């Protein structure tokens, strides 16, 4: 079985209906232009799984699983892409030509073998006397036992260690490239991706090497951390560093502790917390959550105790709660990570911090009321900010208990909180149903969402958005990323195909795209065009307002000299003119065409 030609894939796509296919295993009910049912990828009692026949996609608002007919079959029946394509082709009566090449299933096997072969070499390199990797690990406090346990190795600072090792083992360079170990030279040939780095092998649960993380040993080497890229066997959305080594401890401790870096994970193990795991260069996802939930019900996360750490905790909760995991959050002293804490305070302090980690939802409630809840408005804000998180808790008993705690903390009645949580859970307002950043519902987010939604619905409208102004109009985040990508695609006249766009997006932006693509009801094009124009005008307006405020602030500054003040007054004058212009354009466009 070789590669299946693209035109055959396209024919399979054309001849398969997503509603038929999903309908074989999920009871679907029509709801507007979508079909709804209970999600096959997570446990739920009310349907949040949507199938969109127009786009031939599916998406779950509960666990964020989504994709097309191929990915549905791959996920439900655990098939490779080629296997899923062949199965769909059989159903549709499409013949798939047999081409040359190794068996498709063999590719994964070959990638595992390439990784395992190279790991052996890396480990030999580390044990060489005078290896710079040894000195580095010693400085970080790691001993021979840790090196053995985590099979740490070293990639010499050379261009052809992996090239030669794979070649000697008769593994084709193309396989090395596919495994992310080699990079192709422009003028032919290959070179090593990982050079001059301490190597952490990343295993799947069954103990097979799926990828590598590399830490630079030279002080001036960039980037500090370099992972092998996504490959057919290395899916960063589900991979967890240290998984096979941690399984026993997870069972015994009835919990998993998840951190962000290899050294942090090892620090926890050295402190006696053997159930520690690390993500591999991504934020926690719903896939990680499912992977964990199969082994334990409790996850402890460690965060920096500053504002950024708090935001990271809330995002992690959004990914983990729907799986039914009970999440605890240990907050580290600001500026510390587990590794630095271990070095400074010792293993008992680190272990005690993990053991005492409070329920993350209690932390979220505490933070929400910390900014004040004296006025009716502040109470409402506090409830609204935590309600979307509580809505993600699958257990009705736990959810109701947290509602009671939130009500108590805010000083309101539990029934009000229950109602807010139910509202957030039903996602009646599509904006709230969008899984990304449900907490933020300020005017900026609202406008940004409306803009994104209109563009996803009618991608051709993206040419109305001024591409060169975008960077100054929109701030960061997945929604802005999605808008930028749609606008770029329209400007490049690539024609805007959703599956094509998906490949350019971060995980979060892709989830958002899928969620928006499935939101009911459809907007007609004229209304969407109006929304695009209105939101862009709003963003321009905001930009002007921000600048005006900045000017006013500077004018009041006693340190500003006369020259500067004159310049600022001039600029303010121009801003005013600009605003009048925009307002008159407004007025003109409000006149209906005859």
Name the site residues for Zn ion (rule: CB under 5 A).
39, 41-42, 60, 62-63
In terms of CB distance, is 41 or 72 closer to Zn ion?
Answer: 41
In this complex, which beta carbon is closest to Zn ion, that of residue 41 or of residue 212? Answer: 41
Query: Is-contact 311 363, C-beta < 8 A?
Result: no
Q: Count CB atoms within 10 A of the CB of residue 259.
A: 28
Nearest distance from residue 33's CB to Zn ion, in Å? Answer: 20
To Zn ion, the closest distance from the beta carbon of 17 in angstroms equals: 21
d(CA 114, CA 545): 57
DSSP letter at 346 equals -
Task: Give the integer Cα–Cα distance in Å for 228 and 115.
Answer: 11
Beta carbon of residue 518, minimum distance to Zn ion (angstroms, whole number)? 13
148 Cβ neighbours under 8 A, 6+ residues apart:
none
Report d(CA 383, CA 388) in Å as an integer: 9
What are the CA-CA distances from residue 12 to residues 9, 74, 220, 326 (Å)? 5, 15, 51, 42
Q: How far is the CB of 388 from Zn ion (least distance, A)?
A: 17
Contact by Cβ (8 Å): 461, 451:
no
In this complex, which beta carbon is closest to Zn ion, that of residue 60 or of residue 179?
A: 60
∠544-442-509 over CA atoms, to 5°? 95
Residue whose CB is less far from Zn ion, 19 or 523: 19
- Shortest spacing between CB 404 and Zn ion, in angstroms: 27
Token code pair at residue 268: 């926890």
Question: What is the smallest separation between the CB atom of 40 and Zn ion, expressed in angstroms?
Answer: 8
**In the bound complex, what is the minimum distance in angstroms from residue 587's beta carbon to Zn ion?**
47
Q: In whole angstroms, what is the distance from residue 330 CA to residue 305 CA?
A: 9
Smallest distance from Zn ion to CB 297, Å: 18
The Cα 11–Cα 326 span in angstroms is 44
* Segment holding 35, helix H or strand E: strand 34-37
> Would you say 76 or 221 has its CB closer to Zn ion?
76
CA dihedral 371, 377, 383, 388 (to 10 degrees): -100
Rounded distance between C-alpha atoms, residue 467 and residue 79, angstroms: 41
CA-to-CA distance for 279 and 265, rounded, in angstroms? 9
Which is nearer to Zn ion, 52 or 265 (by Cβ)? 52
Is 318 exposed, middle or buried, given 0-12, 13-18 or 19+ CB atoms closer than 10 A?
buried
User: Minimum Å distance from CB 39 to Zn ion?
Assistant: 3
CB of 64 to Zn ion, least distance (A): 7
The alpha carbon torsion through 498, 504, 510, 513 (nearest 10 deg) reads -40
* Cβ(136)–Cβ(125) below 8 Å: no
């Amino acid at each position: 079985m070789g590669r299946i030609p693209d035109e055959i894939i396209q024919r399979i796509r054309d001849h398969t209906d997503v509603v038929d296919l999903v309908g074989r295993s999920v009871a679907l009910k029509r709801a507007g232009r979508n079909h709804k049912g209970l999600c096959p990828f997570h446990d739920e009692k009310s349907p949040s799984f949507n199938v969109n026949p127009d786009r031939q996609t599916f998406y779950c608002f509960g666990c964020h699983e989504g994709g097309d007919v191929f990915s549905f079959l791959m996920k439900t029946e655990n098939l490779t892409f080629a296997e899923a394509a062949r199965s769909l082709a059989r159903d549709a009566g499409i013949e798939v030509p047999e081409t040359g090449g190794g068996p498709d299933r063999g590719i994964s096997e070959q990638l595992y073998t390439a990784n395992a072969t190279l790991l052996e070499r890396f480990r030999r390199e580390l044990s060489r006397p005078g290896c710079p990797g040894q000195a580095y690990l010693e400085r970080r406090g790691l001993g021979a036992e840790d090196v053995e346990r985590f099979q740490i190795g070293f990639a010499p600072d050379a261009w052809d260690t992996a090239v030669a090792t794979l070649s000697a083992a008769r593994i084709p360079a193309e396989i090395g490239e596919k495994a992310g170990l080699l990079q192709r030279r422009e003028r032919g040939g290959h070179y090593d991706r990982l050079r001059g780095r301490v190597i952490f092998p990343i295993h799947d649960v069954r103990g097979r090497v799926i990828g590598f993380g590399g830490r630079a040993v030279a002080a001036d080497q960039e980037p500090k951390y370099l992972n092998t890229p996504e490959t057919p066997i290395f899916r960063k959305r589900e991979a967890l560093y240290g998984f096979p080594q941690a399984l026993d401890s997870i069972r015994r401790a009835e919990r998993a502790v998840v951190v962000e870096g290899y050294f942090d994970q090892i620090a926890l193990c050295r402190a006696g917390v053997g159930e520690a795991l690390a993500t591999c260069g991504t934020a926690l996802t719903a896939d990680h959550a499912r992977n964990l939930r199969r082994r334990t019900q409790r996850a402890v996360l460690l965060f920096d105790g500053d504002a950024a750490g708090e935001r990271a905790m809330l995002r992690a909760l959004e990914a983990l709660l729907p799986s039914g995991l009970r999440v605890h959050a240990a907050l580290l002293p600001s500026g510390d990570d587990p590794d630095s804490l271990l070095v400074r305070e010792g293993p008992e302090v680190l272990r005690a911090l993990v053991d005492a980690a409070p329920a993350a939802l209690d932390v979220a409630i505490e933070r929400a009321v910390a900014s004040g809840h004296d006025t009716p408005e502040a109470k409402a804000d506090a409830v609204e900010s935590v309600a979307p998180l509580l809505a993600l808790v699958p257990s009705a008993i736990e959810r109701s208990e947290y509602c009671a705690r939130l009500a108590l903390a805010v000083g309101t009645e539990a029934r009000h909180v229950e109602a807010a949580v139910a509202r957030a859970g039903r996602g009646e307002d599509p904006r709230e149903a969008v899984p990304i950043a449900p907490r933020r519902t300020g005017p900026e987010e609202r406008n940004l969402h409306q803009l994104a939604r209109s563009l996803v619905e009618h991608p051709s409208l993206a040419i109305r958005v001024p591409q060169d102004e975008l960077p100054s109009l929109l701030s960061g985040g997945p929604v802005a990323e999605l808008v930028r990508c749609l606008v770029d695609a329209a400007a490049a006249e690539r024609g805007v195909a959703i599956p094509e766009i998906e490949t350019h997006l971060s995980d979060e932006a892709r989830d958002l795209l899928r969620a928006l693509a499935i939101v009911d009801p459809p907007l007609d094009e004229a209304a969407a065009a109006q929304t695009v124009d209105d939101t862009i005008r709003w963003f321009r307006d905001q930009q002007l307002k921000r600048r005006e405020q900045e000017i006013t602030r500077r004018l009041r500054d006693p340190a500003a000299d006369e020259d500067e003040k004159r310049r600022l007054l001039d600029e303010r004058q121009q801003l005013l003119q600009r605003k009048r212009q925009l307002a008159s354009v407004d007025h003109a466009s409000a006149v209906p065409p005859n």
